[in-house]
Amino acid sequence: MGMTNLVRQACSLAVVGAFMAAAGPAWTGPLDGQKVRIATWGGPWLEYHQQAIQPKLEALGATVEYVNASPQDNLAKLIAAWGRGEAPFDTMEVLDAQWHLMQQGDFIQKLDLDIIENKKFLAREDWNEWRTGSWLTQEGICYIKDYFEKEGIPIPDTYTDLRHPKLANRIIIPDISSGAGLAAFGGMASAAGGDAKNIQPGLDLVKSIDVLKFWKRGAEVGVLFNTGDAQVGLVSAGWCSIFKKGGSNTAFVHPKINADQRGVSKKGWLVVIKGTKVPEAANHYINAYLGHDFQNLYAHESGLTPVNVPVLEKLGSDDPVVASMKLLKAEEVAKMLVIDYSEADISDWSERWTRSVQR
């Protein structure tokens, strides 16, 4: 794939303690003098980094700099800088829909798995010599229990159940350009008998549902739940739990995809950028990211699902609302549908969505 096509697809998406020396510098450590540039989101996500990861890197002697933007924007920055023989950061958070672009662009280098000791807490499919998992979402059907009980509507088992006449114009679905859009649409296409290459069944399914709105921010679903305009939203279990804690009587369904799979998992990945001058610091960043402190922090604060298995499995006892909505056993998570975006033409998905269903 040429760099032009990479740009086109990218736009479719976008403690080792320090010690005091008798003489010389006040602080030294294995990463002394190394500045690691981390490409990640801003806002609360940056604050989680500053609270649970940055101190660990600084204790090893490193300094930390952030490049705060969405993965889509950071990939665009990387592509733009690559032709000049430089990279704007050393490590990057990557969406599953971008993974094949990172490979095709030859933007990444092998990890130092000896440094990344916390990989032992991940499911084996969540790490290899090129990447480790970072977080995941569990995409599905969030609905208002009171409305379903009042109207006598059966609890949905899969997406086609949303065609119920009493749900007409009361369903909100993610736009394909939203953070959850590709995963939700990919799940619908697969459940309807299609796949990443054959999305027409998914388009037909979306058009057969009487949709109130296509959302671009998950918080929109909560607003429409509160006003009573929407009674069903295709969102993550994390968002659904946030709505319940906020006062909406929500419940969550992991929709049936096929005989073997329920629900859709959207994954994030961590990579080291090829040619980094601080590979040791970049790998220590990934190790800290996968450790208990950061995984536990974001699991409770953000609604995302941790990839650290002990943290994941403890969520059930820590948070009964989350336990009622998320799959918390590694073997259950492994049975969720994961979209193979290497088989997908995301630009084609977006163009056909816009022509067929967007309004």
Report how far residue 313's alpha carbon sits from residue 217's, in angstroms, rounded to the nearest whole number. 28
Per the CB < 8 A criterion, the answer to whether 325 and 243 are in contact is no
| pLDDT tens figures, 316-345 | 898 999 999 999 998 999 999 999 999 999
Say if residue 108 is in the same domain as residue 174: no
Output the pTM of the full model: 0.87
State whether the Cα torsion 88-75-71-224 is positive or negative: positive
Question: For a pLDDT cut of 70, what percent of the chain falls above it?
Answer: 92
Q: Is the per-residue pLDDT at 19 higher than 50?
A: no
Give the per-residue pLDDT at 251.
98
The pLDDT confidence band at residue 303, using thresholds 50, 70 and 90, is confident
| pLDDT tens figures, 131-164 | 999 999 999 999 999 999 999 999 999 999 999 9
Burial (Cβ within 10 Å: 0-12, 13-18, ≥19) of residue 90: buried
Calculate helix-pair angle for 292-301, 279-290, nearest 10 degrees: 50
Q: Is the per-residue pLDDT at 226 higher than 60?
A: yes
Q: Is the per-residue pLDDT at 91 higher than 50?
A: yes
Strand 232-236 and strand 171-174: the pairing is: parallel
Per the model's pLDDT, the better-predicted residue between 177 and 93 turns out to be: 93
Burial (Cβ within 10 Å: 0-12, 13-18, ≥19) of residue 4: exposed
Report how far residue 347's alpha carbon sits from residue 359's, in angstroms, rounded to the nearest whole number. 18
Q: Does residue 9 belong to any structural domain of this protein?
A: no
Q: Does residue 348 belong to any structural domain of this protein?
A: yes
| pLDDT tens figures, 171-221 | 999 999 888 999 999 999 999 999 999 999 999 999 999 999 999 989 999
Say if residue 124 is in the same domain as residue 157: no
| pLDDT tens figures, 30-83 | 999 999 999 999 999 999 999 999 999 999 999 999 999 999 999 999 999 998
Q: Does residue 119 belong to any structural domain of this protein?
A: yes
Range of the domain at 96: 32-136+265-322
Say if residue 98 is in the same domain as residue 128: yes
Say if residue 271 is in the same domain as residue 347: no
Say if residue 189 is in the same domain as residue 148: yes
Give the per-residue pLDDT at 86.
87
Q: Does residue 24 belong to any structural domain of this protein?
A: no
Q: Does residue 327 belong to any structural domain of this protein?
A: no
Q: Does residue 164 belong to any structural domain of this protein?
A: yes
Token pair for 209: 């549902």
Give the per-residue pLDDT at 207.
96
- The number of folded domains in the chain is 2
Say if residue 246 is in the same domain as residue 224: yes
Q: Is the per-residue pLDDT at 24 higher than 50?
A: no
Say if residue 226 is in the same domain as residue 351: yes
Per the CB < 8 A criterion, the answer to whether 107 and 208 are in contact is no
Q: Among 280, 287, 285, 286, which residue's Cα sits nearest to residue 31?
A: 280
Q: Is the per-residue pLDDT at 7 higher than 70?
A: no
Residue 89 three-state SS? coil
Give the per-residue pLDDT at 318.
87
Give the per-residue pLDDT at 179.
85
Q: Does residue 1 belong to any structural domain of this protein?
A: no
Say if residue 274 is in the same domain as residue 150: no
CATH of the domain at 240: 3.40.190.10
Say if residue 254 is in the same domain as residue 145: yes
Say if residue 206 is in the same domain as residue 351: yes
Say if residue 90 is in the same domain as residue 227: no
Mean pLDDT computed over every residue of the chain: 92
CB atoms within 10 A of CB 159: 27
Residue 66 has phi, psi (to 5 degrees) of -115, 140
Q: Does residue 152 belong to any structural domain of this protein?
A: yes
Say if residue 233 is in the same domain as residue 127: no
Report how far residue 345's alpha carbon sits from residue 341's, in angstroms, rounded to the nearest whole number. 8
